[in-house]
Amino acid sequence: MTQVTEQQILDALKQIRDPGRGQDVVALGMISGIVIKDRNVGFAIEIDPAAAEAMEPVRQACEEAVRMVPGVLSATAVLTAEREPAPAPAQQPGPGAKAALPGIDAVVAVASGKGGVGKSTVAVNLALGMAANGLEVGVLDADIYGPSMPRMLGIAGRAVSTDGKTLDPIESYGVKCMSIGLLVEEETPMIWRGPMVQGALEQMLRDVRWGPLDVMVVDMPPGTGDAQLTMAQRVPLAGAVIVSTPQDIALLDARKGLAMFRRVEVPVLGFVENMSYYLCPNCGTRAEIFSHGGAREAAAALGVDFLGEVPLDMEIRETSDDGRPIVVSRPDSPHAKVFREIATRVADQLAGDAEADRPAPRIVTE
């Protein structure tokens, strides 16, 4: 099977005209971000936001045209528009500045230097642990490319708007959740460009009826790239929790996360070591598979608090992947206790209570 090329896609799209301007969408420079993956094609069509409704048939025609290209399995087009800059009276924060979120006392990011370390698992159990400790909690899934909060919180529905302007979050196990996964089909391949990602994040933060919250837990996209930096800059973060596994070589990735938050002056509340040790469910023996303790040592060396270690455990995996995280499905288990303790430490940090028993930070020169 020959490869589908970008040129073939563009040739197909040249048949489609913008009805308003008469020329074809390629000539008008409206097509961008073409991605071809396993014969599935995605691309964006840049439009004037005022014409969104009129452009829907064009979007469909573009998809249809691309679908007809030999070898193409599926085609997905999204309409995009650079957001119009909001009118900025003098007292409004400038671009990149952090505007406080009314009714939300503290926003905490859960971040990791790379994917697959259990960041989302920790985020969801941390949020539920805080709720179990009596706090009003919201969970914002900022992972636009790979949202996992709906699945982990067992949410199948779609977010709706009751007033036509703002979205209602979906509540599960007593926490309110908003995620891109509640807005679009999970299986739909989406192409997101920088401004769209930012727009989606801003909307999920500000155009959602969160109601009064003690804490909003933000499940950050993995890594320390642009999306994370934007998030860290744009969201009024009270602090960040960095999740790492012991086998990350010398926790280099976690250090990158620390450096990123320090650069944008967001306090790092501490490290969590995930998949830290293995507690044998049969005999109770604790096995330290990946020479655990790296995160604790790195935290001490970097002058960051250590928030706790979460074991590698089948039940933690099964419950979070099945939408019934261990903190709610097995509240009496030792693992649930670990998460509740981490939740307590994070809440203490936010309240500033932990000042007293924090080890004096060692001065490190980088």
Q: Residues in the site for ligand ADP, rule: CB under 6 A?
A: 112, 115-121, 148, 222, 274-275, 310, 312-313, 316-317, 320-321
Nearer to ligand ADP, 335 or 345 (CB): 335
**Considering the complex, what minimum distance in angstroms separates the CB of residue 288 from ligand ADP?**
14
**Considering the complex, what minimum distance in angstroms separates the CB of residue 292 from ligand ADP?**
12
Contact of 246 with 351, CB cutoff 8 Å = no
Nearer to ligand ADP, 230 or 274 (CB): 274
SS3 201: helix
Beta strands in the chain (DSSP E): 31-37, 40-46, 74-80, 104-112, 137-141, 170-172, 175-179, 213-219, 239-244, 268-279, 286-287, 306-312
Nearer to ligand ADP, 116 or 334 (CB): 116
149 sits in which H/E element: helix 149-152
Distance CA 361, CA 275 (A): 26
How far is CA 225 from its chain centroid?
13
Distance CA 117, CA 6 (A): 35
Nearer to ligand ADP, 62 or 175 (CB): 175
**Considering the complex, what minimum distance in angstroms separates the CB of residue 345 from ligand ADP?**
17
Nearer to ligand ADP, 238 or 312 (CB): 312
Distance CA 26, CA 46 (A): 11
Q: Phi/psi zone of residue 361: left (φ > 0), alpha (ψ -120 to 50 degrees), beta? A: beta
Q: Which residues contact 204 (CB under 8 A, 6 or more apart)?
A: 140, 141, 142, 167, 178, 179, 180
Nearer to ligand ADP, 16 or 326 (CB): 326
**SS3 of the chain: helix, strand, coil, percent, to 5:** 35, 20, 45
Angle 242-348-344 from CA coordinates, rounded to 5°: 75
**Considering the complex, what minimum distance in angstroms separates the CB of residue 206 from ligand ADP?**
24
**Considering the complex, what minimum distance in angstroms separates the CB of residue 155 from ligand ADP?**
16
Distance CA 213, CA 236 (A): 14
Helices (H), 264-333: 294-302, 314-321, 326-329
Closest CA to 305 of 241, 249, 209, 233: 241
Q: List C-alpha distances in Å: 97 to 105, 222, 317.
A: 18, 23, 38
**Considering the complex, what minimum distance in angstroms separates the CB of residue 319 from ligand ADP?**
8
**Considering the complex, what minimum distance in angstroms separates the CB of residue 333 from ligand ADP?**
12
Residue nearest to ligand ADP (CB): 118
**Considering the complex, what minimum distance in angstroms separates the CB of residue 80 from ligand ADP?**
26
Nearer to ligand ADP, 305 or 313 (CB): 313
Nearer to ligand ADP, 199 or 293 (CB): 293
**Considering the complex, what minimum distance in angstroms separates the CB of residue 311 from ligand ADP?**
6
Distance CA 153, CA 177 (A): 8
Nearer to ligand ADP, 230 or 245 (CB): 245
The radius of gyration computed from the CA coordinates of the chain, to the nearest angstrom, equals 23
